[in-house]
Amino acid sequence: MIIFCVSKSVSSLLIRKLSWESVGLQSDIRRLLAKRCCPSVVQMTHVFVYGTLKKGQPNHDRMLDVSNGKSEFLCSASTVEKYPLIIAGKYNVPFLLNIPGKGQHVHGEIYSVDEKMLKFLDWFESCPHMYQRTRVLLKVEQQCGEGGEERPELGSTTEAFVYSTTTYEPDWLENTAFSSYDSYGDHGLLYVTREARDSK
């Protein structure tokens, strides 16, 4: 006979063992209780991507690689404030300069990511040395995502993390500021992937 006592908050679980028929029964019951009474909670974070991580861009596969963590597309959005989105360096990297009020309203995509993916993105973006992860206010433009998480309403404003930078060369301010990044655009500044850099 087994008696289970579970608090309403499910914060504690008391198992009083009066008798066990077998060791296997004990293991099965413990696994069942862990699954039913103590589910794990995954913390998700919203991240705004505007460059090579967007759909159709050279590094979007990083967002889809489950070995990096979990990510879910929520919606398209643009920055409420203007920022300079420029392409710079010998590898034609897109940079969002953290200079509010200059440049253009920048278009991108909001993703919901788990802690593992967030840590990967910090590493991938060389944060905090090359980019810094800060919060940005966004206006939702289009809802296209599918899945369980509730999405921001069309036309509403929401907040997300973004990888922008304050560590840039002074002459970068003279570069063209784009409202939307496309590595394959008419500007002719094709992004050089990390794999292509390593092969040279």
Nearest alpha carbon to residue 80 among 106, 60, 109, 111: 106
Nearest alpha carbon to residue 49 among 18, 19, 66, 71: 71
Tokens of 108: 């991108």
* C-alpha–C-alpha distance, residues 156 and 151, integer Å: 10
* C-alpha–C-alpha distance, residues 141 and 163, integer Å: 20
Catalytic residue among 125, 141, 150, 159: 125
Q: Tell the burial category of 48 from Cβ atoms under 10 Å away from its Cβ (0-12, 13-18, 19+).
A: buried
Q: Please give the backbone phi and psi of residue 131, each rounded to the nearest 5 degrees, phi first.
A: -120, 160
Instruction: Note the helical H segments in the chain.
Output: 23-37, 61-64, 115-124, 194-199
150 is catalytic: no
Q: Is the dihedral of CA 114, 116, 119, 120 positive or negative?
A: negative
* C-alpha–C-alpha distance, residues 52 and 93, integer Å: 8
Return the active site residues. Answer: 125
